[in-house]
Every structure is written in structure tokens, then in C-alpha cells.
Chain A
Amino acid sequence: MTLTRTVTAMAMDVDLTLVGDVSEETADAVAGFVAADLAWVDEVFSTYRHDSWISRLGRGEASIGEAPPAVVEVLDLCEAFRDETDGLFDARTPDGTIDPTGIVKTWALERSRWRLGLVGADGWSLGCAGDVTVSGRAPTDAGWRIGIADPREAPGPQAPVVGVVTLGLGGDGATGHHAIATSGLAHRSGHIWDPRTGQPASSVAQASVVGDDLVRCDAWATAIVVGGKAAAKAAQRHGLEAQALTVGDGRVKASRTPGWRSKGS
């Protein structure tokens, strides 16, 4: 049996799938806890909230020492990924403030992971837009099949897909990895900017990264949208597989690391 729950956090839908002998009440309870976790993260990290710790730090009204330890943890992660991606992922905005939004969502999903481990499900997935992490058994023997959204179309759960990556161990062509992150320009120019030029990124329309740490996949997906194919190639150095999509003349071209495994061409 498979149960699904959707909670809304940070203005986005977070989808939870539980596979196995799990009661409706248990699913409701764990979805509630996950929602509360995410709401707290939003209160602390949202750059859209005037009174969040990140906003107050940005205005110089609070110091890092007063903020919850999670703030230091996330900012440290941002710095670590800035280093790892050679500056392509950079939480420092052109106007000099810090905006960790790029990895806060995936950090929050990973942070709630332990709750799902306690439910007693045979398998579960937790996803939000481009970013999904799975564990254990999938709803069917086909495995955890994750569609790569067509970058030419508006993003959303109904978006057509241009390829399928199978996460986890079960199913045809399974990658053995349990996380995938996708970043894209998604009709929102300026959503991702190039820290080297301060201009919106433009070389890659959409990038997906497969690995085990969802936050690392997320940071690298962003880095590849900024840094293009060279960044996709560099991701291999960190045990990741990547696919960068470019759109030209209405056609979608994929540039992949040789270890990338997906169905569809």
C-alpha cells in the first residue's frame, strides 16, 4: 500500500510518499511534523519575511551569535559548497547580503529525514519541485522513477518529461543513488545569477544532479546552471552524476556525465 501527503511550505508543495504497512493516522502525524519542521525553517531563513533571522542579519540588526545554531550550520554549508564548486554556488548576493535560499529547502528536507525513518514504512520519498530523496522500497517493482521535466514547458507536477532516472536499488537501470536535484531558469529570469558577473545565469536551461546527499546535489545543480558543461564535468570529482540541458531551435540537448543513467533519448 502507498500513502501520499502534500504539505505546503515556503510557498511550495512538499510531497511525501510512504510505502508499506503504514496507517492513515501515522501518515497524517508524520506529515504534520514535517510541515512544522519546514515552517520553522521558513521562519528562520526566509528572505521574504521581514522578521526572519536571515533578514535581520542582512540588515545588521542581529548577530550570528544570537541566531539559532542552524543559521551558522547553513551558512557554513554555503561556504563549503562555494569552495567545492569553485565559486559557482555562492550564497552572497550582488548587493552584499547573504541569501542561503539556494540550499535551505534541501537542507530542510534532509533535516526531516529522521522522522520518516521512524514511521516503519518499507520505503518513502520526500520531494519538493526539483529535489527528491528516497529510501527503501518504491510503490512498484519499477523502482523510484523520477521524470526529468521538459525545460521548454512551465514547471509543475504535470510537466512533460524528457527522461526518467530510477533512484534506489530496485527497478530497471536503477542508479543506486537516492537523491536527485534539478535547478533551472524556469521562466524566472534572475532566479539564479552568476556570482562572477552579477548577471542572471544563461548557459544551461536546466541541470539535474544525482547523488546521495540532496543538499550537495542541489548546490551542484545550481552551479551547473551557472557554470555550464564545465561545471557538469567537474561534478564527477565529487561522486555525482549530472545532466545539463540546453535548448536551441526548440530542441532539447542533454550533456551528461558518462555515469549518468536514464531512460529516454
Chain B
Amino acid sequence: MRAQRAAMVVGTSAVILTSGVLAAPDADDAVSEEPTTGATDATDDAADGATDATTDESTTDAGDGVTGTFDGPVVTNIRGDYQVSLTFENGVLVDVEFPVAGTDAPESVRINDAALPELEEEFLEAQDWDVEYVSGASFTSPAMVESAEAAFEEAGL
């Protein structure tokens, strides 16, 4: 149990180091019974503890540390929604992923769109130009309209 809490502290610190813009999970809640000063302290604690599991990545003797992938909650800030997924092997953090990373948030979309070149505006006049083809809205085949009109006439309508 104690090793797992320590692992969470390491994970939290790693996330903060990995992504400066990230809204960090609430570190105080995650490690309320442990020092929150950082990875080094936490691993020292774990090493001093009753179990021989450790989260120090330099330690090769992994023991019975926690293994698995843990998804954090989706945290929302002004830049959008963020979620972190941490993968541990024997108590060692081996992967950090961001299943939700903010780019779809309205704020992010607005900022991204602002980076696109602006439209240019101009008034147009109809003129006589030689063209191969005219691109306009859809219209029914003139031949079909003519044929339909003839059929209506034939029917006396």
C-alpha cells in the first residue's frame, strides 16, 4: 500500500515535469499521508519502508510493486479537458499517456483558427468571359424539364 502511494507521487511529479501546461492532478489529495515535496523524498520513504518494493527507476530489484495502467480523472481548465494515464511495471512508471489533451476545446479551436490566414473580400461583377464550364448550384437537366413540360402539355395540363 505504502509503495503504491509512493508510486503515485513519482507519477505525479513525472507528469508535472513532462507537461508544463498540464493542469496537474491535485497532488495534496493523492498523497495526503505522505510528504509532497517530490519524487526523491517519496522514493526514499518507500525504500525505508517495510516492503522492499521501490519506485526508484534506477533500482532493478523490482519486487512486488504495483503493475498496471491507471487513468486519472478528466480535469478541465480554460484550455480544455485533460486526462493522464500512467502505466507502472513493478512500481516503476514506464509510460505516461494523455487520452484527452485539450485540443478540441473551444478555446484551443479558437486559437488554432486565429492562426489561419484571414479571408480577403472583394465585390464581383458579372462579365463576359470565355469558359469551358460554368460551376454553379445544382439544376435539373434542361432536357428533362423540356420533356416534362411537353408531357404535361400532352396530358392537357
- Residues of A contacting B127 with CB < 8 Å? 160-162, 264
- A160–B128 Cα gap in the complex (Å)? 7
A46, chain B: closest CB distance, angstroms: 14
Stretch at the interface among B39-47, B57-65, B132-140: B132-140
Interface flag for B1 (CB, 8 Å): no
- Residues of A contacting B134 with CB < 8 Å? 146-149, 156-159, 161
A147, chain B: closest CB distance, angstroms: 4
Contact B119 A12 (CB under 8 A): no
A47, chain B: closest CB distance, angstroms: 14
Contact A155 B119 (CB under 8 A): no
The count of chain A contact residues (Cβ–Cβ below 8 Å) is 70
B63, chain A: closest CB distance, angstroms: 46
Stretch at the interface among B8-16, B89-97, B110-118: B110-118
Contact A182 B119 (CB under 8 A): no
When each residue 124-157 of chain B gets 1 if its CB lies under 8 Å from chain A and 0 otherwise, what string results?
1111011111111111111110000000000000
Q: Which of A131, A139, A164, A208 contacts B129 (CB 8 A)?
A: A164
- Residues of B contacting A64 with CB < 8 Å? none
* Given A12-B141, A164-B129, A256 and B120 contact (CB-CB distance below 8 Å): yes
Contact B119 A161 (CB under 8 A): no
Best-surrounded residue of B120, B121, B134 (most CB of chain A within 10 A): B134
Interface flag for A142 (CB, 8 Å): yes
Contact B135 A149 (CB under 8 A): yes
- Residues of A contacting B126 with CB < 8 Å? 150, 153, 160-162
Contact A147 B135 (CB under 8 A): yes
Interface flag for A118 (CB, 8 Å): no
When each residue 148-177 of chain A gets 1 if its CB lies under 8 Å from chain B and 0 otherwise, what string results?
111101111111111111000000000000
- A210–B36 Cα gap in the complex (Å)? 57
Interface flag for B26 (CB, 8 Å): no
Contact A132 B133 (CB under 8 A): yes
- A165–B118 Cα gap in the complex (Å)? 20
Contact A11 B137 (CB under 8 A): no
Q: Which of A11, A149, A150 contacts B140 (CB 8 A)?
A: A11
Q: Which of B116, B129, B135, B144 contacts A236 (CB 8 A)?
A: B116
Contact B132 A144 (CB under 8 A): yes
- Residues of B contacting A251 with CB < 8 Å? 123
- Residues of B contacting A44 with CB < 8 Å? none
When each residue 227-239 of chain A gets 1 if its CB lies under 8 Å from chain B and 0 otherwise, what string results?
0011011101100
Interface flag for A265 (CB, 8 Å): yes
B21, chain A: closest CB distance, angstroms: 22
Interface flag for B29 (CB, 8 Å): no
| Residues of chain A whose beta carbon lies under 8 Å from any beta carbon of chain B | 8, 11-13, 15, 17, 105, 125, 127, 129-132, 138-139, 142, 144-151, 153-165, 180-186, 188, 191, 206, 208, 229-230, 232-234, 236-237, 244-245, 251-260, 263-265
The 4 closest A-B pairs by CB, nearest first: A149-B136, A186-B137, A184-B137, A147-B131
Q: Can you list 12 A-B pairs, Cβ within 8 angstroms, ordered by A?
A: A8-B144, A17-B133, A125-B132, A127-B135, A130-B136, A154-B139, A158-B134, A191-B138, A206-B136, A233-B119, A253-B123, A254-B122
New A-B pairs, 8, CB < 8 Å, besides A244-B119, A254-B122, A258-B120: A8-B143, A130-B138, A154-B139, A229-B119, A233-B119, A237-B116, A255-B121, A256-B120
